[in-house]
C-alpha cells in the first residue's frame, strides 16, 4: 500500500512558497502521490452538504498540480476529484494532456459527477443530468486523446474534423480514477476507470463500497486494457498503525491522508512527518 496526501491546494497551503515547501517535503518523506480537490464556486451562505465556507480559498486543481509538477520529480499528481460535468470536455482534455506531458506522465485524473446543486446550477448543469454528462464527457475526451481522426457525437457534446496535440503520454490516455459512492460510480469505475477513489471512507465503509464494486463487476464487462481496478481511499481523520493495516488488509492500493483542518502550516508539516512513519 502506497501513501499519498490530499487537500493541500486549500487554505494554509495555497501560496507558492508553502506549496513548494510542502510538496518537496512530501516527496522527501516518501509520499508517492499528491491529491487535490475542486470546487469552482461554493454556495454563499454555506448550505449542507457543502464541505467548505464560501470564503475558504481553494486553488484550481490543474493549475495547482502544474506548479507541484515543476517543483517535484516523482510524486504522482491526482485530482480527487475534478467535477467533470461542470467542465467543457474539450478544454479539459487539452488541459489534462498538457499537464500530463509537463509532468512526464505523472497525472492520475480523478473525476466525479458532483453533488452540490448550487455549484452545478451556477455552472449551467442540472443535478439530474450530471451522471449522463459525466459518461458522455469521458467518452468524448477519450476520443480526442486516442483516435487518429477524433470524432464524437452525443447529446451534450459533438465534434469532428478537429484534432488536438500533444496527446497524453500514455497511448490510451491518462490513468482515470472514478470517485463516488453510488451504483453509477461503481459501474463507471468498472467500465471506464483504472481505479476507484473513496473520499471520507473508513475501513467499515470500505467493505460496503468494495461490495458495490464487486456487484458492478458482475453486471458489467471490464475492458482488458484497464487492468486491475486500483483502490484509493482518503480518510477524514488521522490514521494510526492499526487502521492503516486494516486498509491494507482490505486491498487498498493508495492510502491518501488528509491533514485537516489545513489552517496552520506547522500543523500540516507535523501531520506529514507523523503519517510518513505509518507501517505500510
pLDDT digits (tens, 9 = 90+) for 179-221: 999 999 999 999 999 999 999 999 999 999 999 999 999 999 9
Domains of the chain: 2-275 (3.20.20.30)
What share of the chain has pLDDT > 90, as a percent?
A: 99
Check pLDDT > 90 for residue 257.
Answer: yes
Rounded Cα gap, residues 247 and 1, in angstroms: 9
pLDDT score recorded for residue 216: 98
Task: Please state, in angstroms and as integers, the Cα–Cα distance from residue 149 to each residue in 21, 63, 135, following that order.
Answer: 43, 29, 21
Segment 41-61 shows an average pLDDT of: 96
Segment 135-146 shows an average pLDDT of: 98
Q: Which helix (H) or strand (E) holds 77?
A: strand 76-79
Residue 5, Cα to own-chain centre: how many angstroms? Answer: 12
CB-based contact 4:257 (threshold 8 Å) = yes
pLDDT score recorded for residue 42: 97
pLDDT score recorded for residue 37: 98
Check pLDDT > 90 for residue 165.
Answer: yes
Rounded Cα gap, residues 153 and 147, in angstroms: 14
What share of the chain has pLDDT > 70, as a percent?
A: 100
pLDDT score recorded for residue 212: 98
Check pLDDT > 90 for residue 168.
Answer: yes
Rounded Cα gap, residues 175 and 198, in angstroms: 16
Check pLDDT > 90 for residue 280.
Answer: no
Segment 7-12 shows an average pLDDT of: 98
Q: What is this structure's pTM?
A: 0.97
Rounded Cα gap, residues 163 and 94, in angstroms: 10
Peptide bond just before 49 cis, omega within 30 deg: yes
| Average predicted confidence (pLDDT) for the chain | 97
pLDDT score recorded for residue 243: 97
Amino acid at each position: 500500500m502506497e501513501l499519498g496526501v490530499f487537500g493541500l491546494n486549500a487554505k494554509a497551503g495555497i501560496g507558492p512558497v508553502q506549496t513548494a515547501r510542502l510538496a518537496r517535503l512530501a516527496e522527501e518523506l516518501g509520499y508517492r502521490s499528491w491529491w487535490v480537490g475542486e470546487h469552482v464556486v461554493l454556495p454563499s451562505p454555506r448550505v449542507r452538504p457543502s464541505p467548505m465556507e464560501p470564503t475558504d480559498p481553494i486553488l484550481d486543481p490543474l493549475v495547482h498540480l502544474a506548479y507541484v509538477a515543476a517543483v517535484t520529480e516523482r510524486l504522482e499528481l491526482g485530482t480527487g476529484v475534478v467535477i467533470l460535468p461542470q467542465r467543457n470536455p474539450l478544454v479539459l482534455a487539452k488541459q489534462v494532456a498538457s499537464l500530463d506531458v509537463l509532468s512526464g506522465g505523472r497525472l492520475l485524473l480523478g473525476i466525479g459527477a458532483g453533488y452540490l446543486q448550487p455549484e452545478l446550477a451556477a455552472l449551467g448543469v442540472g443535478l439530474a443530468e450530471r451522471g449522463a454528462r459525466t459518461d458522455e464527457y469521458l467518452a468524448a475526451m477519450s476520443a480526442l486523446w486516442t483516435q487518429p481522426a477524433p470524432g464524437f457525437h452525443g447529446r451534450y457534446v459533438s465534434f469532428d474534423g478537429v484534432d488536438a496535440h500533444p496527446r497524453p503520454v500514455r497511448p490510451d490516455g491518462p490513468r482515470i480514477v472514478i470517485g463516488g459512492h453510488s451504483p453509477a460510480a461503481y459501474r463507471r469505475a468498472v467500465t471506464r476507470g483504472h481505479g476507484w477513489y473513496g473520499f471520507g471512507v473508513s475501513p467499515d465503509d470500505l467493505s460496503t463500497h468494495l461490495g458495490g464494486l464487486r456487484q458492478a463487476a458482475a453486471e458489467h464487462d471490464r475492458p482488458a486494457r484497464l487492468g486491475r481496478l486500483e483502490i484509493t481511499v482518503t480518510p477524514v481523520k488521522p490514521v494510526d498503525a492499526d487502521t492503516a493495516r486494516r486498509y491494507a488488509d482490505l486491498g487498498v492500493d493508495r492510502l491518501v491522508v488528509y491533514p485537516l483542518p489545513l489552517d496552520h502550516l506547522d500543523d500540516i508539516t507535523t501531520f506529514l512527518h507523523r503519517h510518513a512513519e505509518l507501517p505500510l
